[in-house]
């Protein structure tokens, strides 16, 4: 394993001492936001994690090494290269490792690598899910399987309505993944604080969430808890507006026949363009909000352990 896994000195030290560490993904940098906002956001995210008492560990595959705690230069490199970096999910890891290539890790791949390193909390913007029309396309993100299998708990802002939120909740239920709403009963829908669906449990403090995670680990359950943290009110978008933007983007993707791993980045880019960057600003702010909560949960969890 040590030939494959590279952990930065800072993260290694924190893990050894049982200090709180928060894993961060890299597909959001390369495929989720345009340059240079993506790099700026990724660096701010690391700072926010630190300001809230935890050590950030941004994860990517660098020259075939599963790297936990990539450097500022590497963040800049992935951000500049953008869509030319390989978007790496579970299936891609062994090939990229064997070929010594770079990969920006999705939620699924980041969970796998965080788990190898022994990190339990991971914060991001949105997860992949069951796509609209999955009854015929079978497009279901590998993120959901990973949440069912790997014990790295993910803080997100719910799921975007580029996905079928109802089917995504059903799938998570089948996999035994509890969806916890932070200070909310409604499943947040990324740009909006509410959706037509409810979370499984509402929790109002990071400590309550950390206790649930500890119980899961003590019971030796596999799989994750998904913590859904609504976007701060002041940055949330109008539901009717964003729904119609998403509707148009999904239709265009269908017309163009975009499929597989390309569809999520395509939709994210379209939405950002149609809303002239307003959705990008919302996206950035909700990520900041999530990494703050992630750091707080990690801090509580390290106290309990
Ligand atoms: N949703 C977002 N922003 C993102 C992603 C999803 O709002 O950046 C990225 C994440 O890395 C997620 C991946 O893990 O897309 C899911 O891709 P797919 O649907 O192909 O599994
Ligand atoms: Mn997919």
> What structural domains does the chain harbor?
1-119 (3.40.1790.10), 120-305 (3.40.1790.10)
Q: Are strands 104-105 and 87-88 parallel, antiparallel or unpaired?
A: parallel
Best CA proximity match to 7, nearest among 72, 68, 73, 56 = 68
Model confidence at 85, pLDDT cuts 50, 70, 90, reads: very high
| Residue to mutate, 127, 133, 245, 291, ligand 1, most ligand atoms under 8 Å from C-beta | 127
Q: How far apart are the first and last CA of the chain?
A: 26
Q: What is the pLDDT of residue 1?
A: 81
Q: Please indicate whether residue 27, judged by its CB atom, sits closer than 6 Å to ligand 1.
A: yes
pTM > 0.95: yes or no: yes
Of the pLDDT bands very low, low, confident and very high (cuts 50, 70, 90), residue 2 is confident
Residue closest to 27 by CA, chosen among 111, 149, 94, 116: 111
Q: How confident is the model at residue 225 (pLDDT cuts 50, 70, 90)?
A: very high
**Measured between alpha carbons, how far is 10 from 13 in angstroms, rounded to an integer?**
5
Instruction: Inform me whether the pLDDT recorded for 230 exceeds 90.
Output: yes
Binned at pLDDT 50, 70 and 90, residue 161 comes out as confident
Mean pLDDT score, 123-150: 97
What is the rounded average pLDDT for all residues in the chain?
97
Task: Assess whether pLDDT exceeds 90 at residue 133.
Answer: yes
Percent of the chain, pLDDT > 70?
100
**Ligand 1 closest atom vs CA 28:** 8
Q: Does the structure show a pLDDT above 90 at 219?
A: yes
Dist. CA 159–CA 162, nearest whole Å: 8
90 lines ligand 1 (CB under 6 A): no
Q: How far apart are CA 39 and CA 265, in angstroms?
A: 17
Residue 25 bears catalytic tag: yes
3-state secondary structure of 227: strand
Cα–Cα dist 46/32, whole Å: 17
């Amino acid at each position: 394993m040590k030939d494959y896994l590279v952990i930065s000195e800072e993260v290694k030290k924190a893990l050894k001492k049982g200090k709180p560490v928060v894993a961060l993904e890299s597909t959001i940098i390369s495929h989720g936001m345009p340059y240079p906002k993506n790099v700026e956001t990724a660096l701010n995210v690391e700072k926010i994690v630190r300001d809230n008492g935890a050590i950030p560990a941004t994860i990517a595959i660098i020259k075939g090494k599963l790297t936990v705690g990539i450097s500022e230069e590497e963040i800049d490199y992935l951000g500049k290269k953008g869509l030319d970096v390989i978007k790496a999910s579970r299936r891609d890891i062994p090939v990229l490792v064997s070929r010594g290539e770079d990969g920006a890790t999705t939620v699924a791949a980041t969970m796998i690598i965080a788990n190898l390193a022994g990190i339990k909390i991971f914060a991001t913007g949105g997860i992949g899910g069951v796509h609209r029309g999955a009854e015929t396309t079978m497009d279901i993100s590998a993120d959901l399987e990973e949440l069912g299998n790997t014990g790295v708990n993910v803080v997100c802002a719910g799921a975007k309505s580029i996905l079928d939120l109802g089917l995504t909740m059903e799938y998570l239920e089948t996999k035994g993944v509890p969806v916890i709403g932070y200070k909310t009963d409604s499943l947040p829908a990324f740009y909006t604080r509410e959706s037509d669906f409810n979370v499984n449990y509402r929790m109002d403090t990071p400590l309550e969430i950390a206790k649930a995670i500890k119980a899961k680990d003590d019971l030796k359950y596999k799989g994750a808890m998904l913590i859904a943290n609504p976007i701060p009110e002041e940055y949330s978008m109008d539901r009717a507006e964003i729904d119609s933007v998403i509707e148009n983007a999904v239709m265009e993707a269908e017309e163009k026949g975009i499929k597989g791993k390309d569809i999520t980045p395509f939709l994210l880019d379209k939405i950002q363009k149609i809303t002239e960057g307003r959705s990008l600003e919302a996206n950035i702010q909700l990520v900041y909000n999530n990494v703050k909560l992630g750091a707080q949960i990690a801090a509580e969890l390290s106290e309990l352990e």
